[in-house]
Amino acid sequence: MSSQACVVDGESGQDSSNPVVIHIADLKKKYTTWSFRGRRVVEALRGATLQVRAGEVFGLLGPNGAGKTTLIKILLGVVRSSSGSASLFGSPAGSIAARMRVGYLPESLRVDRHHSARSALRYYARMSQMSGAEIERRSDELLELVGLRGRDRELVPQFSKGMYQRLGLAQALMHDPDLLVLDEPTDGLDPVGRNEVRKVIDRLRESGKTIFLNSHILQEVEQICSRVAIMSHGKIRVAGRIDELTQFDRCEEVAFEVVTHFAESSEHEATAELTQMFPAIKLAPENDYHRSKPNRVSESPLRFTLPLSSQAEVDQVVDRLRQQGVSIREITRKRESFEETFMREVSRSEEST
Ligand SMILES: Nc1ncnc2c1ncn2[C@@H]1O[C@H](COP(=O)(O)OP(=O)(O)OP(=O)(O)O)[C@@H](O)[C@H]1O
């Protein structure tokens, strides 16, 4: 099974019983810039398609210039698309109905130096026309949620980056949005700060919010997100759960550890026999007599890998080994790391553009 087959529509791995929150179809955006060299058109989005459902923590990943920020700006109604469609909760992205249900944490939130956490929240809340009593009640709730309750009167210049980011999360949540869009929420934080932000995101997920985040940090996304999309050159290349993307069932390489009982065979003979059975075999260096001296003791295991593309092929190999009286000690499917998946998809998209 190819990774493309399971994931390019951006709907794989979803719980389809949950309502669609973000719907993006064939979204395109061209920027036109002018310089002394004349007019230049940049295709930031070239037909991005994606769907995110309620309750997901969705991670958008991609190299610099992939189009992630443009996509987020279109979702927030800050930038207009050139063609295609983008909607939130069924309303066009940028409409008042859509905006009221979204909270946004920008990559570099700026809070004036004279603010404390509490006064900053009051300031942001006034923009959403909440009453004074409502603002105080909501501030208490959110300061508790983000772990700033006891430090709400300190001025923000005394805040660590992690505290600052948690204050940013609180301001994004002030009007109790159903969807939170977070731009690089843990960028520049130390491990403690990251962990604190991650905990808040976990609490938000548990409370049923949908979270859409954009990040460069693969490890972070792996830990936080229920689904991810890899974007490159203005398109969503793959989307799905990480275990789908890392091709668990594709079994590209399967490692075997076996003990052969070929009559009185030396290691040399045993490996020659296996090589004859499976010409594509890759012997472990310690068993490869071209590379190392044979050290066979009849019961010592031999290790090798085979390129196999389905469970049926694995089964066939097992059957053939068993027919030859080979005892199978261990079979391990090689699973791609998420980083390898990311690099593969990005380089594949580079080849095709
Ligand atoms: N306002 C703009 N005018 C012209 N070109 C733009 C504008 N904004 C973005 N671009 C170009 O569009 C492409 C996509 O940019 P975008 O910022 O959306 O990517 P990104 O994935 O967010 O990148 P990064 O991770 O570096 O922030 C890039 O080639 C960028 O130079």
Residue ID of nearest Cα to ligand 1 atom 10: 44
Q: Read out DSSP for 304-335?
A: EEE---SHHHHHHHHHHHHHTTPEEEEEEE--
42 lines ligand 1 (CB under 6 A): yes
Compute, in angstroms, the gap from residue 26 CA to the centroid of ligand 1: 18
CATH number of 249-333: 3.30.70
Mutate to test the pocket of ligand 1, among 28, 34, 60, 69 (most ligand atoms within 8 A of CB): 69
User: What's the residue count for the chain?
Assistant: 353
Q: Torsions phi, psi of 40, nearest 5?
A: -135, 130
The token pair that represents 184 in the structure block: 């690089």
ipTM > 0.95? yes
pLDDT digits (tens, 9 = 90+) for 52-80: 999 999 999 999 999 999 999 999 999 99
Q: Check residue 32 and give its pLDDT.
A: 93
**Average pLDDT for residues 288-309, to the nearest whole number?**
69
pLDDT digits (tens, 9 = 90+) for 160-187: 888 888 999 999 999 899 999 999 888 8
Mean pLDDT taken over the chain: 86
Q: Return the ligand 1 atom nearest residue 33 CA.
A: 4
Cα separation, 287 vs 296, whole angstroms: 9
Answer CATH for 3-248 from 3.10.20.740, 3.20.20.220, 3.60.15.10, 3.40.50.300:
3.40.50.300
Q: Where along the chain do its domains lie?
A: 3-248, 249-333
| Residue 296 in this model has a pLDDT that exceeds 70 | no
SS3 24: strand
97 lines ligand 1 (CB under 6 A): no
Proportion of the chain above pLDDT 70, given as a percent? 89
Compute, in angstroms, the gap from residue 234 CA to the centroid of ligand 1: 10
Residue ID of nearest Cα to ligand 1 atom 8: 70
Lowest average pLDDT, out of 55-59, 245-249, 305-309, goes to 245-249
67 lines ligand 1 (CB under 6 A): yes
70 lines ligand 1 (CB under 6 A): yes
Proportion of the chain above pLDDT 90, given as a percent? 49
Radius of gyration for the chain, computed over Cα atoms and rounded to the nearest angstrom: 27
234 lines ligand 1 (CB under 6 A): no
Compute, in angstroms, the gap from residue 65 CA to the centroid of ligand 1: 5
Mutate to test the pocket of ligand 1, among 35, 42, 236 (most ligand atoms within 8 A of CB): 42
Q: Read out DSSP for 46-99?
A: EEEEEEEETT-EEEEE--TTSSHHHHHHHHHTSS--SEEEEEETTEETTSHHHH
